[in-house]
Amino acid sequence: MFDLERWQEIFETLRKNKLRTFLTGLSVASGIFILVILLGFSTGLANGVKSEFESDATNLLTVWTGRTTKEYKGLNPGRYIQMKNENFNLISEKYKNNIEYETALYSIWGADISYKNESVRYQVRGAMPDHQFIENADMETGRFVNQTDLDENRKVAVIGRKLKQDLFKDENPIDKEIKIYGMSFKVVGVFIDPGGEREEQQAYIPLTTSQKVFGAGDDIRNILVTVKMSDNFDEAVALSTNMSNAIEDELKRVHKVAPNDISAVRVYNTLESAQEIYSIIGIIQSVFWFVGIGTIVAGIVGVGNIMLIIVKERTKEIGIRKALGALPMSIIGMILQEAVFVTMFAGLFGLIFGLGLLELAGPYVQHDFIKNPQVNFNIALTTVFILVFAGALAGFIPAYRAAKIKPIVALRDE
């Protein structure tokens, strides 16, 4: 039931102590504001990390090789481990039930690519059709490398949007011929990549063509496979880790590499890395919550102290109320209502200001690892409930103390 006289009394008390009320409310508003900003940036951090992983498949295993650092089975250290097509075929066949997409790569860094009078030096990658999905690349126009291109060693190229802009400007590149180290390749597609311009500078050609025109024989530089995802993230990580270890052991066995030689054969597991990073983000978010709530608690303690002072100042008034028949619950309700009002009003101001700032400035925050910081509606509601509980808690002890005052003692108070 709405009690107009009680609200008038609350506002009158607040008007008599404007500075005290302002400073108390400011401490609460600051706490909520800081909490909202911290939570917003923790969300932005998660968004940024997620976007970094979206540039490639998150369930990706990347295999590459280097030189041995340990003697093994009579073989000296310093050998370069060169992967072959047969290594890719072995992995493809052995783990086919757990592989979603797969490709072997033979790449040339800084290749001379030209069209008419325009020339650039970008990476050329010999790849298989699945590489499009591993890179999360979309076709802006045309098509990607297909199996027929591989089978027939076709001299076709799929170029990135940045490469297309550098060479062709506004001209349609489809069915035009570019030259790679003076050799003609017909452009059959233009792709866009979530990794941005760095990825869109590349050109893809069929793996078999790359091996043939660059004199690589059956050499490959990398093997990329994506693991079939499970609905359970932990199960997917476990499967990915097991496959990563198994592939590394298999290649070390084939190439006679010491099991503890970490330089000769390496498998990078993005899913495992994602789990580690998301765990770190979870810790950071917990710290942000701790700091934010700690700031709110400091403000709430201030509210509690102010309410104790108010109770002390109104001791005689409370005694008169009790002498006239006011019930203890009425006294408690009066003090609690004032505490909750101050806390709620100040807290909601801080909440709205924080949400508004994130809404206005968030879209302009576009760092590599922080993107679009924001707080969702559920989090905002959670902070409101925290406010209500905190305001009630801050006022309860002073209210309970007021309810215990004996009228005769209160009336003697000076």
Write the pLDDT tens digit of every residue in 265-297.
999 888 766 666 666 767 777 777 777 777 777
Q: Residue 53: pLDDT band by 50, 70, 90 thresholds?
A: low
- Considering only residues 291 and 148, tell me which one the structure prediction assigns the higher pLDDT: 148
Q: Residue 14: pLDDT band by 50, 70, 90 thresholds?
A: low
Largest CA distance in the chain: 105
- Considering only residues 126 and 270, tell me which one the structure prediction assigns the higher pLDDT: 126
Q: Is the pLDDT of residue 55 over 60?
A: no
Q: Indicate the length of the chain as a whole number.
A: 414
Q: Contact at 8 Å (CB) between 57 and 136?
A: yes
One-letter amino acid of 327 = L
pLDDT at 411: 56
Give the number of other Cβ atoms within 10 Å of residue 331's Cβ.
22
The mean per-residue pLDDT over the stretch 215-231 comes to 88
Q: Name the residue among 117, 195, 204, 192 with its Cα closest to residue 162.
A: 192
Q: What are phi and psi of 111, to 5 degrees?
A: -75, 150
Q: Name the residue among 105, 99, 91, 93 with its Cα closest to residue 249.
A: 91
d(CA 273, CA 193): 21
d(CA 98, CA 226): 9
Q: Residue 149: pLDDT band by 50, 70, 90 thresholds?
A: very high
In tens, the pLDDT along 394-406 reads 677 666 666 666 6
Choose the most confident range, by mean pLDDT, from 37-46, 216-225, 370-379, 388-397.
216-225
pLDDT at 40: 79
pLDDT at 232: 66
The mean per-residue pLDDT over the stretch 47-51 comes to 62
d(CA 265, CA 67): 8
Specify burial of residue 157 (Cβ count, 10 A radius: 0-12, 13-18, 19+): buried
Token look-up 């770190």 returns 280
Q: How far is CA 40 from CA 34, 309, 344, 370, 409, in A?
A: 10, 36, 21, 10, 51
Q: Name the residue among 345, 326, 303, 298 with its Cα closest to residue 407.
A: 326
pTM above 0.85, yes or no: no
Give the number of other Cβ atoms within 10 Å of residue 282's Cβ.
12
Q: Which of 60-74, 119-133, 306-320 is predicted least confidently?
A: 306-320
Specify burial of residue 384 (Cβ count, 10 A radius: 0-12, 13-18, 19+): middle
Please give the structure tokens belonging to residue 12.
């009158």
pLDDT at 65: 94
Pairing state between β 156-160 and 183-192: parallel
Share the mean pLDDT of the chain: 81
Q: Is the pLDDT of residue 410 over 70?
A: no
Q: Is the pLDDT of residue 372 over 80?
A: no
Q: Which of 27-36, 136-145, 213-222, 328-337 is predicted least confidently?
A: 328-337
Q: Is the pLDDT of residue 191 over 80?
A: yes
pLDDT at 1: 47
Rg (CA), the chain: 34
The mean per-residue pLDDT over the stretch 116-144 comes to 93
DSSP, res 72: B
- Sign of the dihedral defined by the CA atoms of residues 337, 343, 347, 349, in that order: positive
Q: Residue 71: pLDDT band by 50, 70, 90 thresholds?
A: very high
The mean per-residue pLDDT over the stretch 307-324 comes to 66
d(CA 307, CA 217): 83
**Residues contacting 55, CB < 8 A, separation 6+:** 136, 193, 194, 195, 196, 199
Please give the structure tokens belonging to residue 99.
């592989």
pLDDT at 272: 66
Q: Which of 90-99, 224-233, 399-408 is predicted least confidently?
A: 399-408
Q: Residue 195: pLDDT band by 50, 70, 90 thresholds?
A: confident
Q: What are phi and psi of 82, to 5 degrees?
A: -100, 115
